[in-house]
Each structure stands twice: as C-alpha cells, then as structure tokens.
Amino acid sequence: MIKGLLILFTVFAVVALLNVSSLKLMKLEAVKKAKFRKVLFYYYGLFLIFNGVINSFEQSEPNLFFILDILIGVILLIVNYLGKMEAKEPA
C-alpha cells in the first residue's frame, strides 16, 4: 500500500512539473519557442535513432519496430534540418 501511494505521488509530482514547465514555455516569445522546438526535435530524433539501434543490438535479430524507430529518427533529423517543421505564421 505504501509503495502504491509513493508511486501515485511521484506521478502527480512529475505531471505537476510538466504542467508548470509547459505553462512557462507558453509565455516565451515566438523566436525562443521556435529555437526550443528545433532543439527538442533534434534531441527526439537522436533519441529515436539510439533507441532503435540499442534495441536491435540487444535482440540479435532486427525487428520491424526498431527499424521504424531508426527511420523515423533519421526523417525527423532531416526534416528539422531542412526547416520543414517550422511553424508557419498566419499572414
């Protein structure tokens, strides 16, 4: 029972921290938001690539999901580098 309550309060604390950080990010100016979003997608693409590579090495045979992880990560990096993920401002 105590372990369950500890997990519950930990999840609540993590959700509260995410909420506070997202509210602070919403108050940033557009240039900083765009820069933060670009860096975030670079890290997310690298995370997907490393996740797919590490998981495929742990299991001795390649799996479709791990290959998709790697492909999505590479596509995310390329699209982000080319600037296709930037938000379009209404005219």
For 57-82, how does the pLDDT look when each residue is reduced to its tens digit (9 = 90+)?
888 777 889 999 999 999 999 999 99
The size of the chain, in residues, is 91
**3-class DSSP assignment, residue 43:** helix
Give residue 91's pLDDT. 52
Q: With contact defined as beta carbons under 8 Å apart, do 56 and 69 qualify?
A: no
Cα 15-20-21 angle, rounded to 5 deg? 95
Phi-psi region of 28 (alpha: psi -120 to 50; beta: other; left: phi over 0): beta
Give residue 32's pLDDT. 86
Write out residues in the chain with pLDDT < 50, as ranges.
none
Give residue 37's pLDDT. 87
Give residue 69's pLDDT. 93
Structure tokens belonging to residue 69: 């992880």
Residues with Cβ within 8 Å of residue 45, at least 6 apart in sequence? 73, 74, 76, 77, 80
Give residue 29's pLDDT. 85
Give residue 61's pLDDT. 76
